[in-house]
Structure 1
């Protein structure tokens, strides 16, 4: 008998891919949407909600649901216009998450899978040193703080009830349809713009969308996932220079990378008030997925090269539309 899955964020980059996989594997899905098109599939039920906060009513939406996958969130933004950014993140990512979890518990939901963020661990690691799930959290921005507080609240709820909680902290997710900085990078490479990133020797963990979704699906029913926290990546860390070269190859474009020292780039970025951008381009952020591998018997299902090729192909197809 197919399990019933309640999914939030089903029209988002990650949530949409989760939904596609659930439908393909014949799960019964209840998809909670704030807006967006009707999803016309026989095994999908749509629930429209006005907001994700502590006032949202889930009274009738969770009846008969076995597992909640909570992928909706107020996401990290570079230039937040909110007067109180932390308060805005807390309303959705903490209060909204815990409100949904309490309703799920009341409805008899067996497991709650929460898509968190590596930002709970922090913003970067020394090269060769990787974050682990056991590290003391050290979020450095309101988004990371809100995800940490949501995790804490969910663990407390699990400890005082029978509902299992699974927490997954992805690193940067890429794949077909990716937007933001990753899409900008592809645009630069596609246009042949010379980039000053030919001598960056950092190490960064990334995760292909297919790999993240596969882990999430694994965590729906794997007995060992109950009340655990998992980090996820492709298991193949790259420097910024390596990533750009691989992406250029996937796009069938030359990588015009100028060998500017990372220290010089960081200095210029700091002078321009772009320290956080400099950290992402020149700094390291690595994760240790050995617990994810050993406890769940899970491994990434696609390689970095294959995932970048699929991402590039989608990018080129969209250009023609």
Structure 2
């Protein structure tokens, strides 16, 4: 939080207050113990109490001014970081280009455990995974522009080139492809035989609740249990059905993409949480064609509360949830 120096804070946020003596003089003018004196004291006490809770006009103006300044500074800082990052990508692509890297991408939806899978992958020797190359919110993400497919693909190539190791890539939310007006097929054709890990969550209901909690608490990942934020939410069945249908549509579009069937491995978040090492040893390591290694993560699950406690209207909707507790992108119809 931005704090101001004491002299500036006092000059902006505080007005001159008259000394209390003028009130005593007014009371002394009335006979002590008279009804008029008591009434005057009550009025002054009431005025003092209200004035303590009212922010002066100049204070409100200053707060608005500083919010605007902070917002402008954040934008300028992000713009500077983006320019520096782009310059670094271009320089490394010209001077230290490495065409021998194996592209690897984690395809997922929001609140399916993508950040935790990324952290597990980063713990593997010779594997390097970034966050989201295609997310325009971050300074290292690509911002959508008209007719920018070639620029997007070049940004991905440059970003992969800057990562150490043989297997390099990032997480991509499936819905980010339409944002940049590019299909997964076009993306796949422009890169040398990339491999895809398709992460989904069987329990769409828990995914929906997790998404609502994250939106309300503004916390999307955590590395310590004591830093977790949580809140109670209410589930709207129409919104839950919309998420279910969107999941089915986007996962099906990815699985139906021509040419990637042999290079795409679907797996469930629930299997990873139950036994991550077993999942990697039995499925992910053979698929990636790399030696088995010990995997670990510094992140923690963001919701350890029973789902009944997190959802205020759970008892009302419990009988309608069976459809949303066992989603499978391979079997679920669109």
Q: TM-score, normalised by structure 1?
A: 0.35
Structure with max Cα Rg: 2
More strand by share: 1
More helix by share: 2
